[in-house]
Structure formats: structure tokens, C-alpha cells
Amino acid sequence: MDQAEQLRKLVRQSSSSQPKNTARVITVTSGKGGVGKSSVSVNLAIGLAKAGKRVIIMDVDFGLANVEVMLGIRPEYNLADMMFRGRTLREVITKGPEGIGFISGGSGIHELTKLTREQILNLTMRLVELDELADVIIIDTGAGIADTVLEFVTASTEVLLVATPEPTSITDAYALLKTLNRRAEFSTEHTCIKMIANRVRAENEGKELFGKISVVVTKFLNFELEYLGEIPQDDQVSKAIIRQKPIILSAPNSDAGRAMRELAEKLGGICVPVADEKKGIAQLFTNLIKTTSRQKRKG
């Protein structure tokens, strides 16, 4: 029995004793860096928290610290400290504004394929607890088509793709979707991908951007994207990043601040059917270990 199968069994065992909350997991990604992906993650998390949701952001852009920089908060511990250095789940959750929590990623996710059975059991039980602590878990990935990005997106049920009207952003967003579609583990049936158009400068530019990407995805990749909405270009965003205070708090009535709030409200009102094999953060890591283990064997 490989480690992925062990983890699936342990998740089932830990879930069978009593009914539990299963968090909604939303993975935020982009085809290229610099399009505002982490800003979207943080502001949507705060918007959902303002609506009464318990929200935790998991920053898995390993080697970078975008979420903590935007919040102006330095975490004492990260995910790797929980997995490999004995820290508890609650110790690695850092409190942020409006009661959100965030977990810094730490070391690379490929270390998960090297876990012993005891470490798998420990990780699984803690992630089941994370499902209990949150209503929504936002996974902030790296940008581009690196393996760690694709593995998280592949393992996810609900994905937000952030893109801007720049030609390079459009090209790279399509490249991400094309590469994702080639992976045997990716299922369009069990994955809902919604696009957010960021930094648009004119009315309907977001819908036009979505149309450009959507038409080629439908024609050449044979699946459909959904459109969540747009965020206008706004100088207040860069000012908020410099002040390390998310725009939904620092300038809630600015154009971008209102757009973030509206997107959070829209996202909070969406109900996405989730297959049992993709429910919750513990199950996402089960799928993740399965994917990375398979890639390792191929290599």
C-alpha cells in the first residue's frame, strides 16, 4: 500500500467516527507573477470573514512570503514546522485582520512523498482539525506552471484564475490551463475554474478578457471556464500594499475596494457541488500526495 492509499484510509478512519465540518477549499492561481493573485486571495479572505465565515489562508508559494508581507505580520512558525518539527496546527496558524488565519508554507511540498506512516497519521489528523476550524480555506499558490502549482490546482475542486489584460498574462493563463489539461489526474468534471479579471481600465474590459481566454479554452481544451468578475485598475491598491493593509480595509470605498467586496459576496453565495473524493483540506492533501507520488514514480 503506497503512502497516498495510506492517507486516504486514514482520512476515512478519522472521518467515520462522527459527523464533522468540511471546509470549502478555494485555490487561487495565475499564469504569471505580478498580476495581483495574492492581493486577491487576502482581500477575498477578509471579505468572506466580514460576511461571517471562518477563513484560513494557506500560502503555498514556497520560498516567498506574499501573504504575510501584505498583512504586515511575520509568522513564528510555518507548515513545515508542523509537518516535520513537531509544532501543533494552532501554533502554525497566525491571526490576521477580521479574524482570518493564515499558514505560511515553508519548505517544498515534495517532502510529503517522504513521510513515514506515523507522520502521515499525524498530518492527517491535524488537517482534519483544520477542516473543523474553518468554513473556507483559501490556497494561495505560486504563479506559472511549476509542478507545485499544478499539483495543488489538480487536487482542487474550486479554482480562481487571476489574469490581467496584458498580452503576456493572457498567454500565460492559457499556457497554465493547457498544461493542466494535459495532466492525467486533472478532471474537468470535478474541477470548477472561475476567472477574475484584475486591473481592468474600462467597463466590460473584464468580460472581453474572459471572452478571449474562454473561446480558445473551449475550442482547443474542450472545457469551459466561468467568469466571477473584475477588479478595476486603482492606485489605491499599490498604496495599500505599501501600507501592508489590504485595500478592502484601507480603502473600502475605492473602486478596487468595492470590487473586492462584491467579489467576496458573490463567491460566498456560490454553492459548488463537490465530489466526496475532493472534499475538505485533508482530502486535498490526500490527492496531492497521490499526484506527487505518481509523478515521482514516472521520474
3-state secondary structure of 215: helix
Q: Over its length of 299 residues, how does the chain's per-residue pLDDT go in tens digits?
A: 555 555 555 555 555 544 466 889 999 999 999 999 999 999 999 999 999 999 999 988 766 678 888 999 989 998 888 877 888 899 999 999 999 999 987 655 556 556 666 666 677 677 778 888 999 999 998 888 887 788 888 888 899 999 999 999 999 999 999 999 998 888 888 889 999 999 999 989 999 999 999 999 999 999 999 999 999 999 999 999 999 999 999 999 999 999 999 999 999 988 766 655 556 787 777 666 666 666 555 55
Residues 131-142 as b/e (b if ≥16 CB within 10 A, e otherwise) read bebbbbbbbbbb
DSSP state of 236: H
DSSP state of 23: -
3-state secondary structure of 270: coil
84-105 residue pLDDT tens: 788 889 999 999 999 999 998 7
Residues 190-204 as b/e (b if ≥16 CB within 10 A, e otherwise) read ebbbbbbbbbbeeee
pLDDT for res 8: 56
pLDDT for res 85: 82
Cα 167 off chain centre by: 24
Give the chain's count of helices (H) and strands (E). Answer: 13, 8
pLDDT for res 244: 94
Task: Tell me the helix, strand and coil percentages in the chain, rounded to 5.
Answer: 55, 15, 30
User: Please, is 253 exposed, middle or buried when counting C-beta atoms within 10 Å of its C-beta (0-12, 13-18, 19+)?
Assistant: exposed
Quote the CA–CA distance of 122 and 120 in Å, as a whole number. 5
Quote the CA–CA distance of 56 and 53 in Å, as a whole number. 10
Beta pairing, strands 192-200 & 226-232: parallel
